[in-house]
Homo-oligomer: A and B are copies of this chain.
Amino acid sequence: MLNDADAQFAEALRADLPQAAFREVAPRYLEEPRGAYRGQAGLVLAPGSTEEVATILRAAGRARVPVVPYGGGTGLVGGQVLPEGPAPLLLSLERMTAIRATYPSENVLVAEAGAILETVQGAAEQAGRLFPLTLASQGSARIGGLLSTNAGGVNVLRYGNARELCLGLEAVLPDGSIWHGLKRLRKDNTGYDLRNLLIGAEGTLGVITAAALRLYPLPAATGAALMVVPSPAAALELLAMAGDVIGEGISAFELISGQGLRFLAETVPELRQPFADPPDWMVLVDLGLGPGRAPQDALEALFARGHEAGLVSDGLIAQSEAQRRDFWHIRETIPEANKRVGAIASHDISLPLSAIPDYIARASERLAQHGAYRINCFGHLGDGNLHFNAFPLPGEAKADRIAEKPQVQRIVHDLVHEMDGSISAEHGIGRLKAPDLERYGDPSKLAAMRAIKSALDPNGIMNPGAVLRAGPG
């Protein structure tokens, strides 16, 4: 059984921690972006060093107090809020924000877990390098949380998930011991892969305190195009063609639906639409090329070949960096438009690339059998990652139809499962999807996960209820 992080527990810690570590239990620590959960906390601590994190975990272990690690608070699956049970100790990394070192010749940067993604991107750029992790919440998301949730974003196609961008970790394990694993090595086969076990564990196996991150050369030139395609299947053929025509250098390949463009026109009318008539489907192709190659030429070549093959009917190639940013602004404003329209159910799914057209057709059909919805299907097509979201019809209010949410999610996720996909591509499990993981997860893997959790955190203090629920469900 776990205990509250009560006044007595806090008092006992005062001898071991500086005053600065004790924070007010402010509302911002207890909210999450989607408003689905309201957290609680008996105590908020913001340690200033790895040793202080260790001190805190040892004390929590002795007192059997639950610990919720807290980064930027931007997670979308409730991993950062503990709504019930004993009042936890919320451990915020907000004071551990240093860029400890930059090694441009090694393409490595070492950042503390509390460093904000934008700060890391900036530090890399100052060193003439690229840290490619890019996502909507980069102004507030912190490195520790991004790694703990194995964040994705728009550049996964080329550079991989957060997991692939991490060479080494420093972390405090549930027993309060410090793992000094901040290696800057490309090859290191010395025992089990603890790094990848902590990455994506959502704070349930320990607290990441610092990371050695991979940097890349800044692309010599960037470019982008919007291309109108007749169907998702054509979009996938165009992606394969882009591989042949352009080779490496495709940084992102995003699918945008007519529904998404109509939502934009409706809710963000000041945003200038690229095509007078919103096409049913289009893709945003983004390039970052090495020396000696012009992105516009490459995109024109792709357009020409795609057009000839009947894969592209219309298109726009950015003539400037400002225009490229405009294209991205369209893509990035879709989630805001969705929010304004009000989804009945949103999803973060992935599928084997070749299954995507079939999935979109079958999922749409199954949903139509269940009820009438507007579907905005968009996302990181190059990674097989779609946000397949269902909305009420025009004139209907979200509130009138929100009761359908569980059935809609069930239909969407059941088909994902049937087609060998994932019910959480980039957002993680958190508390929101813990029941889904029990339903769809491989039983043998789930048993292994529970065994690992018990082995590393026998008292169950680390972020209880996230990823794995207490009972066997």
Contacts and interface: CB of A to CB of B under 8 A. Distances in A.
Interface of A: 103, 105-106, 108, 149-150, 152, 156-157, 161, 163-164, 173, 175, 177-181, 183-194, 196-197, 199-201, 205, 217, 220, 236, 240, 243-249, 289-293, 350-354, 380, 383-385, 420-429, 433, 437, 440-449, 451-456, 467-468
Contacts of A447: 173, 175, 177
Contacts of A354: 103, 105-106
Nearest to A106: B353
Given A193-B197, A350-B186, A179 B426 contact: no
A180 B444 contact: yes
Kindly name the residue among A152, A236, A384, A441 whose own CB sees the greatest number of chain B CB atoms within 10 A: A384
Contacts of A149: 189
Contact of A423 (B190, B217, B245): B190
Given A103-B352, A177-B447, 20 more contacts: A103-B353, A179-B442, A179-B448, A183-B420, A183-B422, A184-B353, A184-B420, A186-B385, A187-B425, A189-B428, A190-B422, A190-B429, A191-B441, A191-B446, A193-B193, A197-B452, A217-B244, A244-B291, A452-B452, A452-B456
A424 B188 contact: yes
Nearest to A291: B247
Contact of A173 (B191, B290, B426, B444): B444
A290 B243 CA distance: 9
Nearest to A149: B189
Contact of A196 (B177, B193, B351, B446): B193
Contacts of A383: 186-187
Those 5 A-B pairs whose CB atoms lie nearest each other, nearest first: A247-B290, A455-B455, A196-B196, A188-B422, A177-B444
Given A196-B196, A455-B454, A156 B187 contact: yes
Contacts of A442: 179-181
Contacts of A193: 163, 193, 196-197, 199-201
Nearest to A171: B444
Contact of A105 (B106, B175, B236): B236
B245 A248 contact: no
A13 to B, nearest CB: 22
Given A103-B352, A352-B108, A192 B186 contact: no
A208 B272 CA distance: 53
Contact of A293 (B178, B187, B292): B292
Nearest to A104: B240
Contacts of A188: 350, 422, 424-425
Contact of A185 (B200, B290, B384): B384
B444 A185 contact: no
Given A180-B444, A197-B197, A290-B249, A385 B187 contact: yes
24 contacts: A105-B353, A105-B354, A152-B189, A179-B448, A183-B420, A184-B352, A185-B425, A186-B350, A186-B385, A187-B380, A187-B384, A188-B350, A189-B424, A189-B427, A192-B197, A192-B201, A192-B448, A192-B452, A193-B193, A197-B452, A244-B291, A247-B290, A249-B290, A455-B455
A453 B384 CA distance: 34
A145 to B, nearest CB: 13
A164 B440 CA distance: 25
B422 A185 contact: yes
Nearest to A157: B186
A217 B467 contact: no
A405 to B, nearest CB: 20
Contacts of A453: 192
Given A191-B429, A200-B193, A448-B173, A247 B217 contact: yes
Kindly name the residue among A175, A192, A247 whose own CB sees the greatest number of chain B CB atoms within 10 A: A192
Kindly name the residue among A380, A424, A440 whose own CB sees the greatest number of chain B CB atoms within 10 A: A424
Contacts of A245: 291
B350 A194 contact: no
Kindly name the residue among A193, A351, A437 whose own CB sees the greatest number of chain B CB atoms within 10 A: A193
